[in-house]
Amino acid sequence: MIKGLYAIVFIAIFSGVASGQEKQTLENTMQEISKDLAALHREVEDTYKAQVGYFKQDYYMVHITSKQAPIRAGADGKAQILSNASLGNTFNVIDKAGEWYAVSFKNPINDLTSGWVKSSDVVPVQIKRATLFAEREVADVKPTGEKSVSDRIYEQLTKYVMSIRDKYQNNPYVRVTGFTVNVTVPPSVSVSFEFK
């Protein structure tokens, strides 16, 4: 009888200790999620500050130098032609990828507010910010490399969120079920967690 009582007391004490350890581990997990999301928030804010920095600097426009310059839906000679720009037309540059400039439209074309024009059809012109205050949609993009500014922001934020996803992949209490990265101004990130 006493051995049975000891066994029950031992099981009760062991169960209490195990429950306490689980609770502590779950609490630690929740604290880690909080820290990770705060760090992600700072990363998004830093990215936004970098974007805003583009607006404070000079920006670029392009002048069409061809009789008819195709404005395409993508930075590819095979992409759909949205419009043909005439000689002398001017567009605000919002991005650059390789030999293509992303330009903004004053009026949407096929529900798009921007398109791509090949650099051989234009001449870039730097506009001093002090001379003209650009609209918010116009990002200052100084031609750099093959990747666009948007691509670099997307890759940076996606990599950061994937590190959070990987961190909780084998966690016994929670896992990341999905995420989205939107490269807008300001950029935004959404992370979905599922508790097990």
Query: pLDDT tens digits, residue range 116-140?
Result: 999 999 998 877 654 333 333 333 3
Q: Could you tell me if 87 and 106 are in contact, meaning their C-beta atoms sit under 8 angstroms apart?
A: no
Q: Could you tell me if 172 and 196 are in contact, meaning their C-beta atoms sit under 8 angstroms apart?
A: yes
Beta strand pairing status for 81-86 and 68-72?
antiparallel
Chain mean position to CA 113: 19
d(CA 59, CA 159): 28
**Most confident among 6-10, 142-146, 189-193 (mean pLDDT):** 189-193
Longest dimension (CA), the chain: 101
Output the CATH code of domain 58-139. Answer: 2.30.30.40
- Domain assignments of the chain as residue spans, ordered by start: 2-55+151-195, 58-139
- Answer yes or no: is pLDDT of 61 > 90: no
**H or E segment and range at residue 108:** strand 100-109
